[in-house]
Chains A and B, each alone.
Chain A
Amino acid sequence: DVKVTQSSRYLVKRTGEKVFLECVQDMDHENMFWYRQDPGLGLRLIYFSYDVKMKEKGDIPEGYSVSREKKERFSLILESASTNQTSMYLCASSLTAGTGLSGNTIYFGEGSWLTVV
């Protein structure tokens, strides 16, 4: 089975802190994604990556950055956390788009609940 592991399930951070959310997948997937989930807003894409050292902005990248130094690991970074970044963060991965199979399933981790106080 595909495994997408997020390092922390629950975090509480102070305003202004630098926050790292780590995600690892074990299926050699090229694509990795970070979403945030908020009540009434569904899931919104923050950043995604198609390959090592490659990143592209999603729909709401402001206040976030990402790092993909190794294929299996995709980190989300909040340079200076703010209270409006309190949310649930979901990491996901999938096989490459280059196969032409747009039906490739995207697999999700269990989520990281971040509270910024």
Chain B
Amino acid sequence: GNSVTQMEGPVTLSEEAFLTINCTYTATGYPSLFWYVQYPGEGLQLLLKATKADDKGSNKGFEATYRKETTSFHLEKGSVQVSDSAVYFCALTSRAAGNKLTFGGGTRVLVKP
């Protein structure tokens, strides 16, 4: 079956610091990979996605590259802001799994001024 492993938080950073959240996966077939973000008190929003190997998803200064050889999809941002404080979820779908999303456990990020 499919599974996603991401680094546990909380991750505490100062503003303008570099952020990396590691995500690795196991999947049946050829998965698509996603990062979702959940701001305090809200539901999940799609942050970025990549649907095939070597694709790079990017949005709001965040980037992640689909690395098939290492089965990874690490999230990075070069200079975080206080408004980036949220919980970040790595997820995947695959046709073999009926296109259901499988989530990692989430990583809480706290950015301090």
Contacts and interface: CB of A to CB of B under 8 A. Distances in A.
B49 A103 contact: yes
Interface stretch (B16-24, B73-81, B91-99): B91-99
Contact of A102 (B46, B51, B103): B51
Range class of the B interface residue count: 20 to 34
Interface residues on A, range: 20 to 34
A106 B106 contact: no
Contacts of B34: 105-106
Interface in A81-114: 90, 92, 94, 97, 100-111
A105 B105 contact: no
Interface of B: 30-32, 34, 36, 42-46, 49, 51, 89, 93-95, 98-101, 103-106
Interface of A: 31, 33, 40-43, 45, 48, 50, 56, 58, 90, 92, 94, 97, 100-111
